[in-house]
Structure 1
Amino acid sequence: MRLRYHRRRLADFAGGMRLSRELIGHERWPREQLRQHQQQRLDALVRHAVERSPFYRERFSGEIGSGPVELSRLPVMDKTRMMENYDEIVTDPRLKRDELLAWVERMQRDEFYLGEYRAMTTSGSSGKKGLFVYDAGGWRAIAAMFFRQNAWMGVKPRLPRRFRMAIVGGAAPSHMTRQGSANLKIGIHRFLGLPLTLPIERMVAELNRFQPEYLNAYPSMAVRLAEEQLAGHLHIAPKMMSTSSEMRTPEMTERLVEAFGVHPFDLYATTEGIWGVECEYHEGIHLFEDVALFENVDENDHPVPPGEPGAKLLVTNLYNRVQPIIRLEVSDVLTIEPEPCACGRTLARAHAIEGRSDDVLRLPGRKGDEVAVHPIEFGIVTRDREVREWQVVQEGRSLRILVVPRSGASNALERRVRGAVSQRLSELGVADPRVEVERREELARSAGGKLQVVVADPAARETHLGSR
């Protein structure tokens, strides 16, 4: 049984490598040539979905003719509707939501569902858990984007002295990080995968033993490792480094450069299928829009022009056929750069991933209005050298700042953080900022290992508007 698993894993690795070389050839296409490629993939995807998916057959009735598909005419889908209609959305009738969820919960090691599908869940940090299944073509596109990210950072197969890669990621076998890492363990690179749940002392010992040339971690964990490096416990000298899956503030970037002597690349990857990476200029994340389409829209699903932040993305995965994802809401807040990048690549470039719209705080303003406070504004907490980790929890119109202090932190820490956050909120126009600071030994993480740095109170906006 495991022989079949290993053969499939090798085939996915080889297929992903081949596709990555093809996709890299798209990166400097004229925009019109890229649009033609996107249209061809979209037409094929939508017609496949209408033919094989009962849900899309009914949902797109009357919208699909013989000509090119007009994406903007198709209805938008959120994660709740996707989960409610899961069994009718997938194109393989053997796939059933409840059976898949039960199977994923029982996973103890990396394996394929029914011997052919990758199945994974999102952690549900926004309160909306998602289930995603990838067929061979879809998963090889995911692998191709991973290899593509590596190529941009300079990570390439090397023999006879293999490249040493270390990834600190989600602990559960159902997490995309773990399943993606399984693709690497075929001997091309020397690879070390460490779960985020590993005690920091063991993590430091493993990294010291392995001496990675490349290190990837969530920003919060990368900063924790930077602290260990600066304290003299961790002794590694990576040639390249990257972070992903959480917001990384400029202050965090400065700390990583100070500790490791390299400028980390910022990666973007979603289970829905839209990925990206910074180029050598580190001036925004290029999105792999030849694999998945994205629409940057406002709260009413209207397009947002480049240079302005959107409220969410609508994602269409062009490669996964078993679970067609067409205009699915993803609550990431992006601003698309209006100007081309100096690197010469023509792929769209996000100025920053500014967090999730679910994490934007709504606080009463001095003028009787409502002030939207984006997660990036709390980067000021990271500037305090005595703060190791932090989290903002909204409770109505009040904020609790939970901080994990560095060893030897002074008694003035809480006062400084409270003052810095209160001043920033006042500058943004918040009326009478209410901020409390509490120390913690550690902060809770999601099942996937992510730290949700801002926890918004969903009732806060309604409460504020109702009082006006």
Structure 2
Amino acid sequence: MHTVFDPLRLSSISMDVMAVNRGTPQGIVQRQQARLAQLLEATLRGSRLYRSLWPAGTTANTPLEQLPMVTRGQLMANFDHWVTDPQINLEALRQFTADPTRIAQPWLGRYMVWESSGTSGEPGIFVQDVATMAVYDALEALRRCATRPLARWLDPLGLTERIAFVGATGGHFASYASVQRLRAINPVLSSTMRSFSIQVPTHMLVAQLNAFSPSVVVTYPTVAALLADEARSGALRARPREIWTGGESLSPAVRTHVQQTLGSLVRNSYGSSEFLAIGWECAHGHMHANTDWVILEPVDEHFRPVPPGHPSCSVLLTNLANHVQPLVRYNLSDHLTLHPERCACGSPLPVITVQGRRDEPLIMAGANGQPVTLLPLALSTVLEDEAGVFDFYLHQLDDTTLVLHIPLEGEAGRAAMVRGCAALTAFAIAQGVTAIEVRAELGQAVPRGRSGKACRITACIAD
């Protein structure tokens, strides 16, 4: 299958990434400024939306802080005027992403496409050209910390690894689409890299992982914790040497639980649909931001700059790699702290602390008194993909009862509630929950956590 990949471009960017690894913070700033000027020039030339939003007289050398911030809703509402290639059309892209058989296939023969899950209430569609993908590939390959240096030295391409991605596999999501793209680029990976859906019942997922026996598992922290629980009970016999987590906040408690129970080394990363490889975790356990290719501006609740060392209410992201679908001062809504001190690992890249989504697993009643865990990402995927509900709050009342809150009212709200309740009920039963009641409440605001993102799924408090 043809895919979006240029080995020569990847080689060129990889050499620059390696140079930055051995460079200085001043060298990163120089790269930022040069790449920002190129981005602004391309955006001014090709994006009608940004030209209408930016002050008169804006040039490629205009300081970033003089430009207005933008939101996902604002950009998606003006999608066709946002992108710089007039051949890219939102309606056609929606038809493309509606077809799961086309995941990781090139759009128009030259674009990688993925969709966001709609955490903020507004799903997004993101388009990357070969230049953008080369940046992501280089950052992932050369910045992700090797947990077993000797093994990586003996097998630099990871051909002896058996890699299992465990996540949402029903849509064009960035992580799953990226796995499928890698398998298409390197046929050897077709047998050594596999994807497993978090939407199947837990016992089926465990059986599949036992049969595959992965050496590396790539997943979300809540899934890693679930797998550790299954290993502790004796159900999961597979013992991966490494666990790579991302997509959710990884707490110290979950890290310790996973490492001690599975005996696996855990490495965390930070990314988003808007920029796939924002940060990586070094051997000292610190998250480093790839600021040679992405600019992060921590801001307070009034979108004013937050000084280093202080937590933000949100962060404005500027993607320096993507000139096709520019993201300039984009409100990412994550809670982030940019630390002023250099890391002892020697990297010139800044250290950040990220507080992202902290949805909770729901423990429900199963057969013979056995608990059944419903994973938050699986629940949100069911509501988004199967029910078309993106703005919601799901609260567990007890081990048999869920309460689904939707801000919508009127006929639209009632229709969304019927779809949501039916999808949740069917999913819970398929997972092994023996008695399930999903109650409906319309017109309820979705609560927001400290991260600024919606706290969409919360568990009941045990007595």
TM-score for both structures, normalised by structure 2: 0.74
Counterparts of residues 336-351 of structure 1 (less than 5 Å) = 336-351=338-353
Counterpart in the other structure of 2:75 = 82
Q: Is the 8 A contact 2:215 2:242 kept in 1?
A: yes
Q: Is the 8 A contact 2:145 2:281 kept in 1?
A: no
Q: Deviations over 1:388-431 (max 9, x none)?
A: x63xxxxxxxxxxx5447999899xxxxxxxxxxxxxxxxxxxx
Taking the aligned partners of 1:91 and 1:65, their CA distance within structure 2 comes to 17
Counterparts of residues 29-40 of structure 1 (less than 5 Å) = 29-40=23-34
Counterpart in the other structure of 1:422 = none
Letter in 2 for 1:170: A
Secondary structure of the residue aligned to 1:350 is strand
Taking the aligned partners of 1:238 and 1:13, their CA distance within structure 2 comes to 30
Q: 2:120 aligns with which of 99, 117, 126?
A: 126
Counterpart in the other structure of 2:38 = 44
Distance 1:166 1:115, change over 3 A: same
Runs of 5+ unmatched residues, structure 2: 372-394, 405-419, 428-443, 449-463
Q: How many residues in Structure 1 have an aligned counterpart in Structure 2?
A: 380
Q: Is the 8 A contact 1:308 1:335 kept in 2?
A: yes
Counterpart in the other structure of 1:415 = none
Counterpart in the other structure of 1:91 = 84
Letter in 2 for 1:141: V
Q: 1:19 aligns with which of 5, 13, 16?
A: 13
Q: Deviations over 1:111-167 (max 9, x none)?
A: 111111112211112212212111111122222232235454458554796222111
Say whether 1:182 aligns with 2:176: no
Q: Is the 8 A contact 2:47 2:82 kept in 1?
A: yes
Runs of 5+ unmatched residues, structure 1: 357-374, 379-388, 391-401, 412-434, 450-456, 462-468
Secondary structure of the residue aligned to 2:356 is strand
Distance 1:143 1:199, change over 3 A: farther
Counterparts of residues 37-436 of structure 1 (less than 5 Å) = 37-65=31-59, 68-110=61-103, 111-154=105-148, 156=152, 157-158=155-156, 162-185=160-183, 186-187=186-187, 189=189, 190-273=192-275, 275-282=278-285, 284-351=286-353, 353-355=354-356, 390=361, 402-404=362-364
- Larger CA deviation: 337-346 vs 80-89: 337-346
Q: Is the 8 A contact 1:287 1:348 kept in 2?
A: yes
Q: CA RMSD in A?
A: 3.2
Letter in 1 for 2:46: R
Q: Is the 8 A contact 1:165 1:212 kept in 2?
A: yes
Q: Is the 8 A contact 1:42 1:69 kept in 2?
A: no
Task: Give identity over the alignment, percent.
Answer: 28
Distance 1:153 1:137, change over 3 A: farther
Counterpart in the other structure of 1:370 = none
Distance 1:442 1:460, change over 3 A: closer
Moved over 6 A (4+): 405-411, 441-445
Deviation at 1:21, TM superposition (A): 4.6
Taking the aligned partners of 1:243 and 1:333, their CA distance within structure 2 comes to 18
Q: Is the 8 A contact 1:404 1:442 kept in 2?
A: no
TM-score for both structures, normalised by structure 1: 0.73
Taking the aligned partners of 2:248 and 2:72, their CA distance within structure 1 comes to 20
Distance 1:153 1:77, change over 3 A: farther
